[in-house]
Structure 1
Amino acid sequence: MSVRIVSYNIFAPVYADRPEHYFKCQPEFLKTDYRWNLIRDQLEHEIVNHKNTIICLQEVSLTLIPDLELFFRRLNYSFFHNLYGQMRNDYMGGIAMAIPITMRLNSMSIIRIGDRIRSMMKLRSEQTTSLPTDLWEIAASQPHTFICLQLVINDKQLSVGTYHMPCLYKQPDVMLIHSSIIKDLMFELAAGQNFILAGDFNFKPRDICYKYLIKEEHVDCNLPESAIEQKLKSAYREKNGSEPVYTDFSHKCNSERFCETLDYIFYNGHLTVDNVLQLPDQPTSESYPDQTHPSDHLMIAATFRLL
């Protein structure tokens, strides 16, 4: 029995439709209607051509919620979302998940990670740590939320979560705190069962957060940890031997060309990666979005076999 996990940062319209900022893009390819038609077609292709497809979305904003609701309803999908931005950015920052209505949903968790961090800060203050208090305050102040669905597929339990990591690459220790909390939450909510964690994590494979999650490198900063010391695996790395060449590509005004891998499908448990969505080795335009890429991120996907 298999399940298909799709993860996609769909690029919020309030940020995408700025031709003066994305000066390497043709303005017509930044328009919301043009991009939405491509996004819809890509998602529908994954749903129609694979069984048990679960969709994880990042950068969901208020503008696209009605289109997403109608799209998933037409395909007989249940759609769950949480917006945590502000009016000035169209409440961008939201995340969403969609599952077939025939898929059994046992429970759903929506957790503001900053609240989780703040609740732990009192305990942390009683312990020795190498991370300064101000970093914990910054980590706790982030509005980002996390969605996790506890599912039963052919009598097998599976938890699937999605997250959009704060883009604080100049403060990697703050991202490391969030990485630790997200990892421990997945183990806690899955309660010993299989789980998959997908999303835009805003760190590269060579960064400390990635190495921490897969236990490739010991991090000696006394982060809060659950009793479970297992590491995560990455679907693309397990299947192909390495992460994709890139999942995010853009060339913005007043910044250098950016082409890196930021999106991952992590997992733990008795799961085997049957296949992953093939991604290009290099961009074919000066910047995304372009004629065939509606977001600055690539959609990623993996098919898992539940053992």
Structure 2
Amino acid sequence: MKLRVVTYNVLSSHLSSPNHYTTLNPDHLDPLRRLPIVLQKLESQLKEEKRSVFCLQEVSYDWAGTFHTFFAQRGFHMVTGLYGRKFNGYMGVALAWPTEEFETIDVDISRLSDTRNWPPRDEKTFWSNILETAVAFPFKLLGKKEEKDPWDYAEQRMNVMASVTLKDRTSGTAFCIGTYHMPCAYFAPQVMTIHADVRCFSTVKAIFAGFCIS
């Protein structure tokens, strides 16, 4: 079975600010100019191999519709899992695959934090809330962020994983492909480690489901 997987972080249309990318040409950061170039890159990958599955990250609301149109005109089906906030364009992930080549068996779009059994934590009482507020107050006065418990923070993340089980129409082989955008919590590496663990577990479950189908 011949298959090509293309994965690409397109950088959300709301996050390409010249104030952040200070060493780059501001004209190159303009979302209206970047989008056609991104589509050209995707088109070039299609020319390399039509039997390609595309995994995209940081797809915003503003760009999702254009991506849908682009792939639909080329015989692809696309699914999205958008979960962000207003400041980042409600960005998320997307998967696209050619329906002429692959039959769709199953699609799963899940908030990854909802798929894990998190370790139990003590319920907060009235006095524990008072103590927590008192501890956080000095940090607020100094303009510093209070350190969050990594397990609590990991559980609160909204990041979505999109996965699909496909069946090759030629060979009859079923397989799974998923895409995920890791929380950009570089200040809290434990959170990223926890999500890597959850993602691997979810991927294994999806692969097992694919093997069962085939």
For the aligned pair, the TM-score class normalised by the smaller chain equals: 0.7 to 0.9
Instruction: Show structure 2 runs of 5+ residues with no match.
Output: 122-147
What is the CA-CA distance between 1:192 and the residue it aligns to?
6.7
One-letter amino acid matched to 1:140: E
What residue number does 1:173 align with?
190
Instruction: Show structure 1 runs of 5+ residues with no match.
Output: 127-132, 195-307
Matches within 5 A, 1:52-67: 52-67=51-66
What is the CA-CA distance between 1:160 and the residue it aligns to?
0.1
Q: Separation in 2 of the partners of 1:193 and 1:143?
A: 26
* Residue among 129, 135, 156 paired with 2:150: 135
What residue number does 2:12 align with?
12
What is the CA-CA distance between 1:158 and the residue it aligns to?
0.7
Matches within 5 A, 1:1-307: 1-16=1-16, 18-92=17-91, 94-102=92-100, 103-117=102-116, 120-121=117-118, 124-125=119-120, 134-153=149-168, 154-191=171-208
> Which structure has the highest strand share of the two?
1
Q: Separation in 1 of the partners of 2:19 and 2:154?
A: 32
Q: Separation in 2 of the partners of 1:51 and 1:181?
A: 32
TM-score normalised by the chain length of structure 2: 0.80
The answer (yes or no) to whether the contact 2:56–2:93 under 8 Å persists in 1 is yes
Alignment size in residue pairs: 182
Larger Rg: 2
> Which structure has the highest helix share of the two?
2
What residue number does 1:269 align with?
none
The answer (yes or no) to whether the contact 1:2–1:51 under 8 Å persists in 2 is no
Work out the percentage of aligned pairs sharing the same amino acid.
29
Q: Separation in 1 of the partners of 2:23 and 2:76?
A: 36
SS at match of 2:149: helix
Q: After superposition, give the CA deviation of every residue in 1:249-293 in whole Å (9 maximum; x if it has no partner).
A: xxxxxxxxxxxxxxxxxxxxxxxxxxxxxxxxxxxxxxxxxxxxx
What is the CA-CA distance between 1:193 and the residue it aligns to?
5.0
**Change over 3 Å in CA distance of 1:20–1:168 after alignment to 2:** closer
Q: After superposition, give the CA deviation of every residue in 1:189-214 in whole Å (9 maximum; x if it has no partner).
A: 211757xxxxxxxxxxxxxxxxxxxx
**Change over 3 Å in CA distance of 1:48–1:135 after alignment to 2:** same
Q: Separation in 2 of the partners of 1:171 and 1:20?
A: 24
Q: Separation in 1 of the partners of 2:20 and 2:150?
A: 30
TM-score normalised by the chain length of structure 1: 0.56
Task: Give the 4+ runs in structure 1 shifted more than 2 A.
Answer: none
Higher relative contact order (CA 8 A, sep 6+): 1
Q: Separation in 2 of the partners of 1:15 and 1:67?
A: 18
